[in-house]
Amino acid sequence: MDDLGGPEAEFRAYLGQGKFMLQRSKGTGKHTFYPRVAIPGTGETDLEWVEASGRGTVYASTVNRGRDRSYNIVLVELDEGPRLLSTVEGEVAVAIGTRVQALIKQIEGEPEVIFKIEAGNRADAL
């Protein structure tokens, strides 16, 4: 990839190409998200971009109840370790423990990571 500046800009450029990438320390193999200039806490800067498996488990879950629509907001723990905030499409309430798969979707004109329930892996309802 051309030099786009910092890790934030690189991450967003990858997303624009349809790729959900994570940073990983070459030395320790530890992944981090969101994009940073170093692994938090330990400070490794030997970071490389690797494609995320996109697979994860719902760690916490809520439904925002609006007048017009209700939608879920979830924290997903990726199989690689990092956690991210997102939503699971096509669902209202999503149970903690549900296995999910990432996809990239345009939200307000920007590519963003959202999730869908992994086939056959629906956990019990909330």
Footprint of other proteins (CB under 8 A) = 8, 34, 59-65, 71, 73-75, 83-87, 93, 96-97, 107-108, 110, 112, 114, 126
What is the rounded distance in angstroms from the CA atom of residue 91 to the CA atom of residue 35? Answer: 28
Minimum CB distance to other proteins, residue 40 (Å) = 8
Minimum CB distance to other proteins, residue 77 (Å) = 10
Minimum CB distance to other proteins, residue 108 (Å) = 7
Distance separating the N- and C-terminal Cα atoms of the chain: 43
Q: Edge-to-edge strand order for the sheet containing 47-51?
A: 31-32, 21-25, 47-51
Contacts of 63 (CB under 8 A, 6+ apart): 70, 71, 72, 73, 92, 93, 126
Indicate the residue among 73 and 103 with the shorter CB distance to other proteins: 73
Minimum CB distance to other proteins, residue 13 (Å) = 15
Indicate the residue among 47 and 88 with the shorter CB distance to other proteins: 88
